[in-house]
Structure 1
Amino acid sequence: MNKKENLRLLRRRLGLTQKDFIGRFLSDEEGVPSMSVATLSNLESRGGPRLNDVILMAADALQIDSMLFSMKPEEFIQRIDILLPGGQDVDDIRSNAVKKGKIDQLLYRLTMYFAERLIDKELKKGDKIESDRVLAKKMNVGRSAIREALKVLDVLGMIDIHPGQGTFISNDEASFFIIPLSWSLFLNGGQVEEILTVRNLLEVKAAELSAGCRDAGGLERLGDISRQMKQSYEKKNQKEFLEYDIQFHGCIAECSGNQVIFSMIQTINSLMRHITDTGMADSLQLKELYQEHQKIYGRIIERDSSGAAEAMKEHLERSAARYNNR
């Protein structure tokens, strides 16, 4: 409901007819449109399976987060007014986005290329990679595009660029497997229910693993957060309590000892904060949340793996029911 309304709001905010919108954002470099005016009109009024594709293309062209389209329309238009002050020149946005889209695609291709070589043991952490000339030939792109993409991978911590020496696989080679998974989640941000299912499965497993945690520092941090949640609950400070709630789940993921689970939960939670409202409605729900978190913490401290997993599963199911009944 929000997406189709927000797509229409964006088009009108840019002062474009449906035909103009297709020409700006839904056509290839030769100007061939990917859909008709009738199709776009139908998507704006009724939605449909191609709605997400249109949103992703427009968001990429405008260099904005596609998750914004899931906001309430009144919030969406306020955010767009901030991101597009004074009405940007859509021709400039479109031409700049072509380059951006190609770099994004190249980043993903390079990431998967290096990841596959790591899996096949052709590379290991600290190894020097091919020159930009060789990579450009393999990826069938220009050397300047390769150099720009490599700079991004360097910032992400996946590679280390040493001027005059070469480019090397980072010592933290796990990044090559975690970041593509994270990208996949963000690219499919419209599939909220599916993402929540994955998140819940990971949360339950994290709680189970945390009960066997041998990291004394991690368990101590979890205990500190649990005590802070109790203080916030006793003060009836709802906002503070919910902030500790997020930290509590993040700490459990960290105590699981599984870096992929930790990274995926952090990624999903970041995504969900863009598109959902987590505020609770009343003090009764706050009490239920407090009791459920205390139960999870108790099972973890008791090193009851199955009990911790069950307590987390029950908490997530009850949280979903609370949210749906609001």
Structure 2
Amino acid sequence: MTDQMLNSKYKTENLRFLRTHLGMTQKEFIERFLIREDGTPAMSVATFSNLESKGGIRLAEVLLKASEALQIDSMLFSMDPDTFARKISILLSDSADTETIGRSVARTGKIDQLLYKLTMYFAEKLMDKELKKGDKIESDRELAKKMNVGRSAIREALKVLDVLGMLDIRPGQGTYISSEEANFFIIPLSWSLFLNGSQLKDILEVRNLLEVKAAQLAAEHADDAGRRRLSLLAEKISKAYEEQEEKEFLDYEMEFHRCVAQCSGNQVIYSMLETISNLMRRLSATGMTGVHQQEEIYQENQRIYSLILAGDKEGSAEAMREHMKRSTQRYHYI
């Protein structure tokens, strides 16, 4: 099954979850989100019902209009249903009917600001050595007083940070700084990836620049262990390509990029690329169109691999630059 088919299935499932989460009938959903300027419904209940069960060319229209009204990112609908349900439950946790949607929309913006304040607060504590990984943080009551917000807002924000891996909420024990406390210094990027779809083009440009720099640094700094990992992945990519195993080929190709970032020796580059890659895995709207593109990717990766092993910094950077340019043309993100 192709990525496109999987994404289409996710979207219909996630649309049904959203409507159910909001406690709306199909007719109520149409009246809330799909009304023309003259006040008439933009589609019939039968058409909407068909989109919910089978998808169709108007599915994107429905998702965009609902996302716009709720001020959520339409890209969320491409995530797997479990992840989508978790994020929607956080973002619209109190939205049980149409009367609460307006309050939820206003709260989303406030939570965005609160997340920034909390992450900066914890980042400063970490830099000042007042906190370290694994440490327990203050209670939600104390944080609410410091941030001058309600406890419910603090709890909601902490749940988001738990989902993003910044904190570790342990029921009955408290909330702790995660073992990956360095992520607090790149959380603004992570948060924008999940919520600000309008910045996707900029994020992809940053991703491409980081990939190029990672390849250049890998050619200069890769140690023996890193070179062995790259060699092993190159062999796996080659085997998957020869046997036309598309899923394995793409999985190994993404792992290859992760390995290049690790070989760069720059933890910030690696962390930022990991954050972006986690999202990109869910946002490919078309994927590869056939064997020809698979062959292109194979040849491009082989060139990058050879230049890194040869220690050719400029060559590695240029090969990765061309690969990322062509990859942007091969894939579409929504």
Length-normalised TM-score, structure 2:
0.65
Among 132, 139, 148, which residue is 1:125 paired with?
A: 132
Distance in 2 (CA, whole Å) between partners of 1:40 and 1:307 is 60
Q: Which runs of 5+ in 2 are unaligned?
A: 1-11, 44-62, 89-94
Moved more, 173-182 or 189-198: 189-198
Q: Does 1:15 align with 2:27?
A: yes
Q: Does 1:58 align with 2:74?
A: no
| Other-structure match for 2:232 | 224
Task: Mark the CA change 1:320 to 1:110 in structure 2 (over 3 Å): closer, same or farther.
Answer: closer
Q: Mapping of 1:45-84 within 5 angstroms?
A: 55=67, 58=70, 60=72, 66-68=74-76
Task: Mark the CA change 1:92 to 1:259 in structure 2 (over 3 Å): closer, same or farther.
Answer: farther
Distance in 1 (CA, whole Å) between partners of 2:143 and 2:309 is 50
Could you tell me the percent identity over the aligned residues? 54
Task: Mark the CA change 1:149 to 1:242 in structure 2 (over 3 Å): closer, same or farther.
Answer: closer
| Other-structure match for 2:216 | 208
Letter of the structure 2 residue corresponding to residue 282 of structure 1: G
Return the offset for 1:259. 2.3
Q: Does 1:234 align with 2:242?
A: yes
Return the offset for 1:301. 0.9
Return the offset for 1:190. 3.7
Secondary structure of the residue aligned to 1:212 is helix
Q: Is the 8 A contact 2:70 2:105 kept in 1?
A: no
Once the two structures are superposed, residues 164-185 of structure 1 have per-residue CA deviations (whole angstroms, 9 ceiling, x without a partner) of 9987655643121123321112
Task: Mark the CA change 1:317 to 1:90 in structure 2 (over 3 Å): closer, same or farther.
Answer: same
Distance in 2 (CA, whole Å) between partners of 1:207 and 1:40 is 55
Q: Which has the higher contact order (CA 8 A, sep 6+)?
A: 2
| Other-structure match for 1:271 | 279
| Other-structure match for 2:145 | 137
Q: Does 1:297 align with 2:305?
A: yes
Letter of the structure 2 residue corresponding to residue 209 of structure 1: L
| Other-structure match for 1:251 | 259
Among 284, 295, 304, which residue is 1:287 paired with?
A: 295
When the two chains are superposed, the root-mean-square deviation of aligned CA atoms in Å is 4.9
Q: Is the 8 A contact 2:230 2:260 kept in 1?
A: yes
Return the offset for 1:17. 7.2
| Other-structure match for 1:260 | 268
Return the offset for 1:232. 1.3
Task: Mark the CA change 1:123 to 1:21 in structure 2 (over 3 Å): closer, same or farther.
Answer: same
Aligned residues: 286
| Other-structure match for 1:185 | 193
Moved more, 108-117 or 180-189: 108-117
Distance in 1 (CA, whole Å) between partners of 2:317 and 2:214 is 8
Q: Is the 8 A contact 1:128 1:168 kept in 2?
A: yes
Distance in 2 (CA, whole Å) between partners of 1:277 and 1:21 is 24
| Other-structure match for 1:90 | 97
Moved more, 189-198 or 243-252: 189-198
Return the offset for 1:98. 7.0
Q: Mapping of 1:10-49 within 5 angstroms?
A: 14-16=26-28, 20-21=32-33, 38=37
Letter of the structure 2 residue corresponding to residue 16 of structure 1: E
Q: Is the 8 A contact 2:212 2:321 kept in 1?
A: yes
Task: Mark the CA change 1:19 to 1:322 in structure 2 (over 3 Å): closer, same or farther.
Answer: closer
Secondary structure of the residue aligned to 1:182 is helix
Task: Mark the CA change 1:287 to 1:167 in structure 2 (over 3 Å): closer, same or farther.
Answer: closer
Distance in 2 (CA, whole Å) between partners of 1:185 and 1:313 is 22
Letter of the structure 1 residue corresponding to residue 282 of structure 2: H
Return the offset for 1:298. 0.7
Return the offset for 1:290. 1.2
Once the two structures are superposed, residues 220-255 of structure 1 have per-residue CA deviations (whole angstroms, 9 ceiling, x without a partner) of 222111101111122233332222111111221222
Return the offset for 1:111. 1.3
